Amino acid sequence: MYDVTIIGAGVSGIFMAYQLTELHPDFKILLIDKGKELSERKCKARSKQMCSCDVCDQYIGFGGLGKSEGKFNYTNDFGGNLGRKIGSDRAGELMWEVDRILCSFGGDGAELYHTHSPELKRDAKKAGLEVLTTSVRHLGTKRSGLVFQKMYEFLRGRIELHFETDIYSIEKAECFNIITSKGIIQSKKVVLSTGNSGSEWMYDQCAQLGLLPGPARLDLGIRVEMRGNQLQALLKQTFETKLHIKRETFEATTYCMNPNGRIIRKYQHNLVMPDGQNKRERDEASSNLNFTLFVPTFYSSKEEADQVANQVIGRINRDTDRIVVQRLQDLRKKQTTTSETLRLNSIVPSLDSVAGNLIKEVPHIYLRALLEFFDCLEQLIGEQIDEETLLYGMDGKFYEAKIPTNDHFETKVSGLFLIGDCSGETHSLSQAAASGLYTAQMI
Ligand SMILES: Cc1cc2nc3c(=O)[nH]c(=O)nc-3n(C[C@H](O)[C@H](O)[C@H](O)COP(=O)(O)OP(=O)(O)OC[C@H]3O[C@@H](n4cnc5c(N)ncnc54)[C@H](O)[C@@H]3O)c2cc1C
């Protein structure tokens, strides 16, 4: 019988397991993942067509999505509701504890930087924007892999790890009986940390235990590619910035700003979206800067949110990897960008996409949010945004519908916990990891 079984070896599950070994060396702990161990996660495909994984190694396996660019933002301003759930101070302390642990496994090779600037905050307010700030440890894909490998080696000697294991059902009696492809496991407590990739499975398991999800959030937005020096006035104080605009009918926030980065295709939920790639991921820097302006909306269920994403992004994709790009001046004049104007554009697109007219492709609210945001941004930087700025439709960020948990992340089923992104409370590496530490301390 295990004391604690953690299902999902992403950042939240790993940090929880780590903390349990520190606090309860006598506990019998099992960490199960349906994917592979880190060294076996080999998919390098940049497109779905090129990927031959049954369950793609890019998203599944030890490290979870922490195997991505590994950008740990230490903030309550964005990246989840951990601060609201357990208190901002506690959440802040835990995120710094995550950083300390990362550093002890080699994360300190990546420099810590901060995006706080009182002057910028003041100027942004005058222009009708709010600046969201953070401290960042950006590991990058390679270092992220090394850090998680070291964490794996640390855990391997202290807990049991089962990979490539399917879990068919979880039953609650005196203890939990977990029916897996490799036999039946018994555990006193069960923690689900299956992130976004395990959402369908998680909802099924929770439904069988009588737990039903609530409303779900979906962020959609246009990815913007501008002249590299356009935001110089803001970025001379910080490497990147996050700006927020709030109006009566919408609010929007910039996401994943990449000075000198490129735009690449992101494949998720059977949809193809423009995604930002940091300059550190390539040998050759681009002379552009990119970010997405996301507008969040809330739906009564995850299915409804997914349906909207499919309607909006799927309609653009047309069952291919089609992404549409339009120049800012064409959007403002309500005219189509042609491939000829795009060829002559002074801002060279870093993504191969189809020139077109976003007005015909994207719901009006996202374009309105973008244009109103640009008006404020022009005021903030004191210059016009280049009319040849490129706008790509359209990016999406998906969230889990929340299954209610108490302030210890425990569900109504006693002994069953949900942590990380599958709890619907975190949407970032640092907050997911911090939720793992917190729950380990509370269990
Ligand atoms: C492309 C991309 C890039 C991102 N980059 C960043 C970034 O740079 N910074 C940032 O803060 N956030 C980033 N995010 C968000 C961040 O990755 C997540 O918030 C974070 O990884 C959530 O951690 P988690 O432990 O909850 O879930 P995950 O990291 O997704 O881990 C879930 C784990 O559960 C396993 N699993 C799933 N289903 C099952 C099942 N049925 N049985 C057993 N195991 C299962 C998976 O294999 C996986 O290991 C990014 C997200 C994406 C999609």
Segment 177-192, tens digit of pLDDT: 999 999 999 999 999 9
Residues 106 and 171 placed together within one structural domain of the fold: yes
Question: So what's the pLDDT on residue 25?
Answer: 95
Question: So what's the pLDDT on residue 280?
Answer: 73
* For residue 297, pLDDT beyond 80: yes
Q: Whose CA is nearest to atom 30 of ligand 1?
A: 195
Taking the model in full, what pTM does it have?
Answer: 0.83
Residues 327 and 393 placed together within one structural domain of the fold: yes
* For residue 50, pLDDT beyond 70: no
Count Cβ atoms within 10 A of the Cβ of residue 131 and give its class: 0-12 exposed, 13-18 middle, 19 or more buried.
Answer: buried
Domain of residue 383, residue span:
216-398
Instruction: Answer positive or negative: Cα dihedral of 400, 406, 409, 414.
Output: negative
CATH of the domain at 42: 3.50.50.60
Count Cβ atoms within 10 A of the Cβ of residue 160 and give its class: 0-12 exposed, 13-18 middle, 19 or more buried.
Answer: middle
Indicate the top mutation candidate among 30, 143, 194 to test ligand 1's pocket, ranked by most ligand atoms within 8 A of CB.
Answer: 194
* For residue 438, pLDDT beyond 80: yes
The residue-averaged pLDDT of 76-81 equals 94
* Domains: count for the chain: 2
Spatial separation of the C-alpha atoms in residues 430 and 72, rounded to whole Å = 5
Segment 20-31, tens digit of pLDDT: 999 999 999 999
| Ligand 1 geometric centre to CA of 353 (Å) | 27
Residues 273 and 300 placed together within one structural domain of the fold: yes
Task: Tell me, yes or no, whether 128 lies in a domain.
Answer: no
Q: Whose CA is nearest to atom 35 of ligand 1?
A: 8
Task: Tell me, yes or no, whether 131 lies in a domain.
Answer: no
Residues 180 and 323 placed together within one structural domain of the fold: no
Task: Tell me, yes or no, whether 151 lies in a domain.
Answer: yes
Task: Tell me, yes or no, whether 119 lies in a domain.
Answer: no
Segment 321-342, tens digit of pLDDT: 999 999 999 999 999 999 999 9
Question: Which residues, 6 or more positions from 130, have their beta carbon under 8 angstroms from its beta carbon?
Answer: 124, 243, 244, 245, 246
Residues 269 and 224 placed together within one structural domain of the fold: yes
pLDDT category at 427 given cuts 50, 70, 90 is very high
For 334-345, b/e burial (b = at least 16 CB within 10 A) is eebbeeebbeeb
Residues 105 and 198 placed together within one structural domain of the fold: yes
Task: Tell me, yes or no, whether 123 lies in a domain.
Answer: no
Spatial separation of the C-alpha atoms in residues 346 and 348, rounded to whole Å = 6
* For residue 14, pLDDT beyond 70: yes
Peptide bond into 394 cis (omega under 30): yes
Residues 298 and 324 placed together within one structural domain of the fold: yes
